[in-house]
Amino acid sequence: MPRLFGTDGVRGLANRDLTAGLALGLAQASAAVLTQGRRAAERRAQGRRPVAVVARDPRISGEFLTSAVAAGLASSGVDVLDAGVIPTPATAFLIADIHADFGVMISASHNAAPDNGIKFFAFGGTKLPDEVEDRIEAHLDLDKLTPTGGDVGRIRRFADAEDRYVVHLLGSLSNRLDGIHLVLDCAHGAASGVSPQVFTDAGARVTLIGADPDGININDGVGSTHLDNLAKAVVLHGADLGIAHDGDADRCLAVDHDGNVVDGDQIMAILAVSMAERGLLKDRTLVATVMSNLGLRKAMAEHDIEVLQTRVGDRYVLEELTAKGLSLGGEQSGHVIMTDYATTGDGILTGLQLVAEMARTGKSLAELAQVMTVYPQVLVNVRDIDHNALHSDDEIAAAIRDAEAELGDSGRVLLRPSGTEPMVRVMVEAADQPTADRLAHQLADVVRTRLTR
């Protein structure tokens, strides 16, 4: 039976894969697992129940799923603080801010409106490791002793949730954003209320697109996965830059005044150099994934900044940041984690810090982005194959060696099996686009020939 939890919680087609019954069961199982330990025992000894923060993005299915999650938690003796529609990083912040025992975010991030998901956060607002998710999944099939009478949980509105988060974000700034005009694309998602307020309060002039959620238009042609409209709006309004979030606002991508995309790698490069210059980049080290562009590593080397690599996924970036006590990491997709202020990727925080750097230096985003050269990167997905033999096939290994020999120091090759389907991702970076295209497709052909079932 396939694992219920994916790379970022439980996700699927709402009311088909992800039902109210499953949401209730997951909530009850999470209450059983996440309220174990000394902290929960101390609460109970004081006659207090465990507390969980619950929030969602604006998609319509979030309404019934939030009700199911809240019911599951309360029926398990957990007091629920319903924070309403707020970004995922706001949920993580609030868990830590009020010392809640754990929290739940109902969101499918950048997915289309019919999908939804359930993400769990532990005490302190951190994502759960795989082994804890496995324990929650195992508890789904166990009989649970549920409380009665005054021991059942209460469900209350978290009245000042958004205000707490706004104050926190503004407190991260060392300078204001006065004089900067930006176009803000909120993906018709969870950032639609908070992000415009924060940027405006910080002094920026804000033009909005994608900030009218109706429950079914989230990520629909807008947000960080659809940057064309943002680029057009920046040029049309003569803005200094554009910032794009995804549906739950844990990502940030940008476009400069000419509409050119500035991705997560470039944003990390800008922030890393700035933080290093100001003595804020712990151990002069940045954490990125194996998919980050070769240009990022070369740029960091030029500034005497070490780059540590992890598996793909912001949870693995965070694990490395936490283990080494580091301050900055992220992904090319725009998940950027600044551990001085957040326990997860925060698209609004990232955007604020990026615009603050423009204001601090007086440089345009295009000028700041010149800190790194983006190498052409080609990704080819080879589907319907047996990827288990990927790393043991001699002909594939020989093809990789030949490609690496041709590239030398001016590129790299990465073959990565999918963790969820029979597929291998072939990625090639090179100094020029034709070489990247040619080598990527050559390698993909070898993989297809050797591993086709």
- Residue ranges for the binding site? 109, 246, 248, 250
CA distance 170 to 176: 9
CA distance 386 to 450: 9
CA distance 53 to 88: 11
Burial label for 306, CB within 10 Å (0-12, 13-18, 19+), is middle
Q: In this structure, which amino acid lies at residue 376?
A: P
Q: Are 351 and 199 in contact (CB under 8 A)?
A: yes
| Buried/exposed code over 156-193 (b: 16+ C-beta within 10 A; e: otherwise) | eebeebbebbbebbeebbeeebeebbbbbbbbbbbbbb
- CA-to-CA dists, residue 393 to 267, 398, 412, 428, 438, angstroms: 37, 9, 19, 19, 21
User: Which residues carry a binding-site annotation for Mg(2+)?
Assistant: 109, 246, 248, 250
- CA-to-CA dists, residue 198 to 184, 255, 260, 346, angstroms: 11, 19, 24, 13
Closest C-alpha to 196, from 350, 348, 90: 348
**Catalytic residue positions?**
109
Residue 56 sits at φ, ψ, to 5 deg, of -155, 165
Closest C-alpha to 92, from 136, 132, 123: 123
CA distance 248 to 238: 27
Helix ranges (DSSP H) in 2-60: 20-34, 38-45
Tokens of 209: 């697109």
